[in-house]
Amino acid sequence: MTAHDSPAPARARVLAAIDKPIPAVLKQAFLAMFIAGFAVFAYGAAIGNGRAWQAFHVNWLFFTLIASAGVMFVAVQRITTARWSRSVIRLLEGFAAFLPFAFVALLLTIFVGAEHIYPWWDLVGTGELIHEKEIYFNHAFFWARSVGVFGLIMLLQVWYVWTSVRLDVGVSPERGASWAAGIRAAMRRGFRDERRELHSTHSRQGWMAVVMALLFGFGWVVMAWDHSMSLSYHFFSTIYGWQVFMGGWLAALMVFSALVRVFNTHLGASDLITEKQYHDIGKLCFAFTAFWGYLTFSQYLVIWYGNLPEETHFFTLRLSGVWTTTTVAVAVLVFVLPFFGLLSVKAKMWTPTMMVFAACSLVGIWLARYTEIYPSIYGPREVGGDLPALWKWNLALFVGYLGAFGWCYTQFMDAFPKMRVFLMTSEFRDEVQVPCDPETMEPLPAHE
């Protein structure tokens, strides 16, 4: 049987599977990591240590891109009207819980720590920048872009996840973390019969998903320019933004491949989460590993062949001195090992191999964020120097951000249904293939 003709599981079975809470000790561990990591950051920020802010920024980029890309992948499931992912896609919807925290962290970065992160910050208004960059890097314009672009992305993605979770809350008994009882009550308010709710939500999510795709693609290109490429303010590349946010997309899929296995074991839901889904997600991880490699090499090849000094200095810096090792490690960890390792079907489906290649990719993407930021700030460096100090701050902030991400995520997963109960069990679940007007329940013309 395929995912398209499998019978619907009983609603009671799905509710029983998702009823198992996340272990309290895990949530406490994430909270402790968050407090410890950000206490170190608070100390560094209080004494005016620029390295603390730089580590804050590197890890913000890494975790925020994963969270935003994960929710974007959820919207892609709506655009393609996918059915294979219904039992697992909530694991990515939970990433939306981190986005409000990321927004606050961005405000802290641009309004408090900007002078420690962006080398051009103190050059605006001095006459050292060309006229066009004086305009673009104007502080007010920079603040408006950052707050406006990421704020819109966050609001739309959180709203999208709300509409999705609302369906499941509406057909499930009251359960979940007590802190979200008011939110669940708001979701149930005005909930109508299943068929009308299915079509009204499907219609609303249709336009939301398309708008999100446009906003995500354009918005993260601008964010990549402003918060990554601009640190080397004489460099420019039209493909840079794509290469940055597709790294986050790949990392989100790798995290997804791990979470599906962890939750399958935790919930005892092997009848709902199958090896076919392991394989499908593994194929996506392999495909976007190849696509990331294509984008990265395309950017490098054109710059190498063009041999223009205003472009080549970016890669010359990263392939010399102390930065060489991390730059080469990025290519090996993100592309070489996962690409050749995931060629096999069994490697995609067997948990130990998939976990190893997911870990390789995630470490490599983090190093990619590192090599985007630090060489632009510190310039040429030989082996030794102040690199150990940079790693100490990054270790502390990585722990802090991992704790924040994990705590937000586990709180969300304990507060709301862990699977799409509605779309897995409703007798109307596949009517979305022939959309109806939610008021008249008449089939819509094809163009609508």
The top-scoring range by mean pLDDT among 77-86, 155-164, 370-379 is 155-164
| Percent above pLDDT 70 for the chain | 95
Asked if residue 448 belongs to a domain, the reply is no
Phi, psi of 96 (to 5 degrees): -60, -25
pLDDT for the residue 360: 97
Where does the pLDDT of residue 389 fall: very low under 50, low under 70, confident under 90, or very high at 90 and above? Answer: low
Find the mean pLDDT for residues 12-32.
Answer: 95
Predicted confidence (pLDDT) per residue in 324-352, tens digit: 999 999 999 999 999 999 999 999 999 99
pLDDT for the residue 322: 86
pLDDT for the residue 127: 87
93/165 Cα distance (integer angstroms): 9
In our burial notation (b when 16+ CB lie closer than 10 A, e otherwise), range 432-443 reads: beebbebeeeee
Where does the pLDDT of residue 411 fall: very low under 50, low under 70, confident under 90, or very high at 90 and above? Answer: very high
With a cut of 50, say whether residue 43 has pLDDT above it: yes
Asked if residue 1 belongs to a domain, the reply is no
Hey, how many other C-beta atoms are within 10 angstroms of the C-beta on 384? Answer: 8
Element (H, E) at 180: none
pLDDT for the residue 4: 44
Asked if residue 330 belongs to a domain, the reply is yes
Collapse the DSSP code of 130 into the 3-class scheme (helix H, G, I; strand E, B; otherwise coil) and give the result. coil
Asked if residue 443 belongs to a domain, the reply is no
Asked if residue 170 belongs to a domain, the reply is yes
Phi, psi of 443 (to 5 degrees): -55, 140
Phi, psi of 129 (to 5 degrees): -105, 150
With a cut of 60, say whether residue 53 has pLDDT above it: yes
Asked if residue 299 belongs to a domain, the reply is yes
With a cut of 70, say whether residue 208 has pLDDT above it: yes
Largest separation between any pair of C-alpha atoms in the chain:
71
Predicted confidence (pLDDT) per residue in 70-102, tens digit: 999 999 999 999 999 999 999 999 999 999 999
According to DSSP H, which parts of 307-448 are helical? Answer: 309-318, 323-331, 337-341, 345-349, 351-378, 387-415, 421-425
Find the mean pLDDT for residues 36-50.
Answer: 95
Print the domain residue range for 241: 11-431
Q: Whole-model pTM?
A: 0.94
pLDDT for the residue 7: 77
Asked if residue 143 belongs to a domain, the reply is yes
Phi, psi of 436 (to 5 degrees): -120, 160
Q: Are 92 and 252 in contact (CB under 8 A)?
A: yes
Collect contacts of 240-246 with beta carbons under 8 A, ≥24 apart. Answer: 240/299, 242/295, 243/292, 243/295, 243/296, 243/299, 244/65, 244/220, 244/372, 245/65, 245/69, 245/216, 245/217, 245/220, 245/221, 246/288, 246/291, 246/292, 246/295
**Closest of 253, 233, 179, 189 to residue 408, by C-alpha:** 179
Find the mean pLDDT for residues 119-140.
Answer: 93
Find the mean pLDDT for residues 291-309.
Answer: 93
With a cut of 60, say whether residue 242 has pLDDT above it: yes
Tokens standing for residue 237: 């590349």
Asked if residue 446 belongs to a domain, the reply is no
Our count of domains for the chain comes to 1
Any bridge partners for residue 436, and if so which? 443
pLDDT for the residue 385: 55
- Higher-confidence residue of 3 and 32: namely 32
